[in-house]
Structures are given as structure tokens and as C-alpha cells.
Structure 1
Amino acid sequence: MPTPQTLKNHARFNPLFHFAIIPLLFLNLVFSIYITIHRWPAYQHTHLWWIVMAIVFFLMAGDARGSALKTQNRIIRLEERLRLATLLPPDDRAHINELTTPQLIALRFASDAELPALAHTTLTQRLEPKAIKQAIVNWRPDNERV
């Protein structure tokens, strides 16, 4: 049985991306530079093109990862706004849109019981995401985040 998610272990790695794709792309870049340096007189333009393409592959991987994270953040923002709309008292409900995306992402870990008080504190004291996560007593895991 996996250990329950907490503040200390909630960060996630995508094994395929972090431990396979990125290291292989890095090795490809290093190899391209090595070959260019050691075989410079022959096929100068081809070797330089390999370096450019190795950099492009890195940028493509980073952009794909960034797009996936932006999409996840937008979905979390929507889910948490809907959740807050059902759990907050009317006075605080009017201020849901004042919460930033990073604050909403941090609030997703709060249980339904403690969310109204924590959201009110976040709205009045402008808590940072790290402070929000540290204030959570009953952690609500998000095991779907990559």
C-alpha cells in the first residue's frame, strides 16, 4: 500500500519524462557537441545542424511538458472554484475570483471541512501557496497530478 500523500511527499515526477526522455535528449546534445568538436573539418554544416536540432528537441519536450502543466492548472482552477462555490459562505463566495491560480492549486489539498476557514484566511491574509499547504491539517491527496 502506498504511503499517504502529505506536504513532504506530494511533489510528483513523471518517470518517462524525467528519467528517460530528458536524460536521452541531454545525451543527444552532448554527443552532437562532442562529434562537432572532434570531427570539425568534415561536414561542418551537418554537425552544427545536429546541435541545433538537439536544442530544438529539448525545447519541444519542455514546451510539451509546460503545456500539459498549464492544462492541469486550468482544470484544477476550475474544479477548486466549483468546490469553493459549494463550500464557502456567501460572504466569501463573492471573492473566489480574487484567489490566484497558485493559491487555488494549493487549496486543493485541504479537506472539505477545513477548506472554508483556510480559504477565508487566504483571502484576508493573502497567503502564499507554501503557507497554505503548511496550514493544512487533513491532507486531501491529489494522486492524478503529473
Structure 2
Amino acid sequence: MLKTQNFENHAKYYPLHHFFILPLALIFLGWTVVRMDFSNSEAISDSLYQFLLAFTLFLISYLPRIYALKNQNRIIRLEMRQRFHEITGTQFYEKEKLLNSAQIIALRFAGDEELLPLMDKAVKENTSPKEIKKNIKNWKADHHRV
């Protein structure tokens, strides 16, 4: 059974990515930078080669996560458009123009009864995503976030 989700426990970590692959890639990149040698042309060439390899490894480990999150953010935006329409019978586009992506992503956690008041508050007061999440009383869990 899934644990009840709230502001304190909604962030997800994927151990293989967050605690193994990405840290190793960063360590290798840092180690490469520290060991760079500019004493002669051959050492410079080897150092630049190692740096490019380390930087490429870092990007290979980091970019797929960014792509997945960007895609998921687009899906969340579509879900919010549908949900807003189901609740209000109107299009979300006008409200969407007044909110930034992070606010919309935060609002998806709000239950239907508090979504519109939190949305209006976010528009009027430019509430931060963190504050939006803290103000949610009836948390709508998202256990599928990448």
C-alpha cells in the first residue's frame, strides 16, 4: 500500500540515479579537473581529452533525467487543463498564462475543492510553488512522478 503523500514526503529519489550514477559522474568530472596538467602541449592535449570525456559522461548521466522531467511537466500541464475544465467547465488557458510552470506543477497536488482558491491566491499574490504546496490541506498524491 502506498504511503499517504504530503509536503514533507512528496519528493522522490531514485537511488541508482541520485546516489550512484550522478555522484560518480560528478566525482570523475571533479577528479579530472583537479588532475589537469598544463605543463606541456602533450599534457594539455591529454587533459582536455580527459575533461571532454568526463564532461560527456556527466551529460549522459544528467540529460535523460532532464528530458524525462520536461516531458512529465508537459503531461502535468495537459492534466491540469483537463482537470480545470472538468471543475469549471471553462478553458484553463487564461489562468495558465498567469501562472508559471512551477506553480502549475505545485497546484496539481491540491484536491479539487481547494484547487481554485489556491490558484486564485497564486495568481494574485504570485505564491511560490513551495508555499502553494504548504497551503494544501487535502493532498492529491502523485506516486508516478519521475
Superposition TM-score tier, normalisation by shorter sequence: 0.7 to 0.9
TM-score of the two chains, using structure 1 as the length reference: 0.79
| Post-superposition offset of 1:23 | 1.9
Aligned residue in 2 for 1:81: 81
| Post-superposition offset of 1:72 | 1.1
Aligned residue in 1 for 2:94: 95
- Structure 1 unpaired stretches of 5+: none
Aligned residue in 1 for 2:142: 142
Secondary structure, in 3 states, of the residue corresponding to 1:113?
helix
RMSD value, Cα: 2.7
Contact in 1 for aligned 2:81/2:92 (Cα 8 Å)? no
Count of aligned residue pairs for this structure pair: 143
**How do 1:122-133 and structure 2 match up within 5 A?**
122-133=122-133
Contact in 1 for aligned 2:22/2:62 (Cα 8 Å)? no
Secondary structure, in 3 states, of the residue corresponding to 2:58?
helix
TM-score of the two chains, using structure 2 as the length reference: 0.79
Q: Give aligned-pair identity as a percent.
A: 37
Distance 2:139 2:28 in 1: 41
Deviations 1:82-118 (A, max 9, x none): 101111365x957322322111101110112222222
Q: Quick one: higher RCO (CA 8 Å, sep 6+), 1 or 2?
A: 1
Distance 2:67 2:93 in 1: 30
Distance 2:66 2:93 in 1: 31
- Note closer, same or farther for the CA distance 1:30–1:120 as it changes in structure 2 (3 Å cut): closer
**How do 1:2-21 and structure 2 match up within 5 A?**
2-21=2-21
Contact in 2 for aligned 1:84/1:96 (Cα 8 Å)? no
Aligned residue in 2 for 1:24: 24
| Post-superposition offset of 1:77 | 1.0
- Structure 2 unpaired stretches of 5+: none
Deviations 1:36-68 (A, max 9, x none): 56xx88x63334312221012213333222222
Aligned residue in 1 for 2:64: 64
Distance 1:145 1:48 in 2: 38
- Note closer, same or farther for the CA distance 1:55–1:114 as it changes in structure 2 (3 Å cut): same
| Post-superposition offset of 1:7 | 0.5
